[in-house]
Structure 1
Amino acid sequence: MLTNLTIALDMMGGDYGPRSSIPAAILAVKKYPNLTLLLCGNEDVLRQALQKESHLDHPRLIVKHCEQVVTNNCEPAHALRNKRNSSMRIALELVKSGQAQACVSSGNTGALLSMAHYVLKMLPGIKRPALITSMPTEKKQPVYLLDLGANVLCDPETLFQFAIMGSIVAGEALDKAQPKVSLLNIGAEDIKGHDGIKQAAKLMCECEHLNYQGYCEGSDIFSGKSDVIVCEGFVGNIALKTCEGIAKLIMLKFTNALKKHFFYKVLAFLLRPVIKKLYKKVNPDQYNGASLVGLRGIVVKSHGNASNKAFLAAIDEAVREVNRRIPEKIQTAFERMAKTEEASVSQD
């Protein structure tokens, strides 16, 4: 664990802006005594919000004034060209300059991807960044799913690189030397899937640095059979949001059923500790915070509609990423693979 942590927050992004990001920032500095947060946004708005929460002069909550905001409907190209003094852009620039070790934003995903790619650049040898997050499984340990929407379509080489990066992230998080990696497909049989998926599977199977397990289906995401599941961003984003919707639906149906009869109400009271424990395990808020891996810096994307607790979970993820030094370890892995490939070519 690093002695001092500094993280830049895009305070104005998302559906709620400072209404969720300010309470989350306050909770974060209480939780981490060694954490300093650089609050990027409109100075007047942020100071008023901090004053309302009696944290205006907190020494580890530092306001960085930004004149612009990247709205949810702003086109990525427009944001990149015209929002250079936005809270999102300034937070990324603070990471680039070394003033912050990570950036957290719940703002426009497309704009964040474009800006992060432009400002921080890619690590050597990596084609595209990927969004990765953990999801609950039947077992104690979670599964890591990527890509979650950074790249709608991916060629085989990109999916292969995602597998390497996902394996590193999961290995660090789960303390596993060889995490199990699977490729999401419409079936587990080798004949299933389009040519791109089959070519990606071949690359993964031939890589000695991957513990590749083969294809997995959507129903296997929560089984715990895999530590990492790789897919295109279009598929991953739909899978993630479908899972979150199902979790909310189940809990809603369950709580509504308990309210219908007096006996169920008594039963709910008696089972309250169990229900709370169950909800905590499936509540999407605690899994909020997808890391944008493959960049020369740490960027965590929070849901746009994140509550203060959900935004805190994204800050938690940024803290973990900094302590694990994920970008450095991804770069080391790709350099090692490049040297192995060069040695193999020279022997031939």
Structure 2
Amino acid sequence: MKIGLDIMGGDYAPKAIVLGAIAAHQSLAPDEHLVLIGDTQQIKPLLSEQGFNPDHFEFVHTEEVIGMGEHPTKAILQKPNSSISVGFQLLKEGKINSFASAGNSGAMLVGAVFSVKPIAGIARPCLCTIVPKLKGGVGLLLDVGANADCKPDNLVDFGILGSLYAEHIMQIENPKVALMNIGEEDEKGNMLAMATFPLMKQSPHFNFVGNVEGRDLFNDKADVIVCDGFTGNIMLKLAESFYVLTIKKGLKDEFFDRFNYENYGGSPVLGVNAPVLIGHGISSPEAVKNMIFQSRDMINTGLVGKIQAAFQ
């Protein structure tokens, strides 16, 4: 197994990424190898500072970096030797089994679609995120930003993708799938929600439990909550603020501590033909370590193959 990692992506790259890779290495099996993609002239001195043997990693040298504010499509096309572009080329060629980066999220989405491409039958790949539950455990929210505008069929696909991820990665048996709405009644919602509800209700591919409201995000009514990326991204950013607010207020609470993004790694891009993960731009070494573990789990469970089979 070869796990590709962009060393140049993120606000604290390359140091935070390198430290995360070192931390993850301690828990990887002998046949699980990290491939660090980026400027080796910056990477190797950092390894030396930590007294870490560089022979534990594989390296692919690149000389360009796609900045966080660059236009995703233009950057992918104009910087073929960037760490993100090279990472996706390696993934496409099968030289790495997964690719993760805390860099430009738009470039990561564009790169995934252009290189390994969406799985046949999936019109819109999506992003998902882990949501802590009040009584323990976690749920899944998707889409959280890849698709601001969606059609009903897209949301049904997200339900299938989320259900498979919850079952095989989160180990939730027969996960409950719900549609985010402004009320629980079947006929509630805007045009998208009202058109999507009957399609999800009729789908044989997941355990649909109906509509849920925003206040249900952290309870046990559903394991997987589906929405368009515009709604999901707003909910995600609001949820992320809870942890920051508790820190600023000097509050200590076990539940809100679980909102710390570092605990969950990155956001998987579901619906493409290889494992791809996008980390938070401010990813710390702990977040990078967990993103590497997510990559390993997606490879080990054969999640992409299971999604491909579901959409045949």
The interval holding the TM-score normalised by the smaller chain is: over 0.9
Shift of 1:238: 1.2
| TM-score (normalizing by structure 2) | 0.95
CA distance in 2 between partners of 1:282 and 1:103 (Å): 25
Q: Secondary structure at the match of 1:32?
A: coil
Pair 1:68–1:174, CA change in 2 (3 A): closer
Q: Give the Å deviation of 1:276.
A: 8.2
* Residue of structure 1 in register with 2:264 after alignment: 287
Partner of 1:344: none
Structure 1 residue 47 and structure 2 residue 44: aligned? Answer: yes
1:250 paired residue among 221, 236, 246: 246
Q: Is the 8 A contact 2:91 2:99 kept in 1?
A: yes
Instruction: Indicate the structure whose relative CO is greater, using CA pairs within 8 Å and at least 6 residues apart.
Output: 2
> Per the alignment, in what secondary structure is the counterpart of residue 282 of structure 1?
coil
Q: Secondary structure at the match of 1:181?
A: strand
Alpha-carbon distance in structure 2 between the residues aligned to 1:113 and 1:282: 24
How big is the shift at 1:324? 1.2
**Aligned with 2:134 (options 133, 138, 143):** 138
1:277 to partner: Cα distance: 5.4
Q: Secondary structure at the match of 2:55?
A: coil
Q: Does 1:319 align with 2:302?
A: no
Deviations 1:49-89 (A, max 9, x none): 2222222x432312210111010111012112111111011
Q: Match of 1:291, SS?
A: strand
Return structure 1 stretches of 4+ with deviation > 4 angstroms.
Answer: 275-280
* SS of residue in 2 equivalent to 1:78: helix
Change (3 A) 1:204 1:120: same
- Structure 1 residue aligned with 2:97, among 93, 98, 101? 101
> How far off its partner does 1:314 sit?
1.1
Q: Which amino acid aligns with 1:289?
A: G
Query: Cα deviations across residues 122-181 of structure 1 (Å, max 9, x unaligned)?
Result: 111110111112111023321111111111111111111011111100111343442100
Partner amino acid, structure 2, of 1:327? V
- Name the structure with the higher helix share: 1
Partner of residue 33 from structure 2, selected from 25, 32, 36: 36
1:299-320: per-residue Cα shift (whole Å, max 9, x none)? 0110001111111111111111
Contact 1:117-1:295 within 8 A present in 2 as well? yes
Does the 8 Å CA contact 2:20/2:286 hold for their aligned counterparts? yes
Shift of 1:224: 2.0
Query: How many pairs align?
Result: 311
1:167 is matched with which residue?
163
| Number of the residue aligned with 1:340 | none
TM-score (norm 1): 0.86
* Higher mean C-alpha displacement, 36-45 vs 183-192: 183-192
Amino acid at match of 1:46: I
Q: Which residue identity does 1:44 align to in structure 2?
A: Q
SS in 2 for 1:229: strand
Per-residue Cα deviation, 1:228-251 (whole angstroms, up to 9, x for no partner): 001111111111111010122124
Match of residue 309 from structure 2? 332
| 8 A contact 1:10–1:91 mirrored in 2 | yes
Contact kept in structure 1, 2:118 and 2:271, CA below 8 Å: yes
2:42 counterpart of 1:65 = no
Question: Does the CA contact (< 8 Å) of 1:251 and 1:279 recur in 2?
Answer: no
1:284 positional shift? 2.3
Cα deviations across residues 100-124 of structure 1 (Å, max 9, x unaligned)?
A: 1111100111111011100111111
RMSD: 1.6
1:98 to partner: Cα distance: 1.4
Q: Does 1:87 align with 2:45?
A: no
Hey, what's the Cα distance between the residues in 2 that align with 1:220 and 1:211?
17
2:209 matches 1:213? yes
> Is residue 135–residue 287 contact of structure 1 (8 Å, CA) maintained in 2?
no
- For the pair 1:300 / 2:296, whether they are aligned, the reply is no
Distance in 2 (alpha carbons) for counterparts of 1:251 and 1:63: 38
Instruction: Tell me if structure 1 keeps the 8 A contact 2:62–2:83.
Output: yes
* Contact 1:133 1:146 (C-alpha < 8 Å) held by counterparts: yes
**Residue in 2 that maps onto 1:266:** none
- Counterpart amino acid of 2:219? S
Alignment of 1:107-256 (within 5 A): 107-255=103-251
Report SS of the residue matched to 1:31: coil
Q: Is the 8 A contact 2:186 2:197 kept in 1?
A: no
Q: Letter of the aligned partner of 2:285 in structure 1?
A: N
| Structure exhibiting the larger radius of gyration computed from Cα positions | 1
Aligned partner of residue 74 in structure 1, secondary structure: coil
Cα deviation for residue 199 of structure 1 reads 1.3
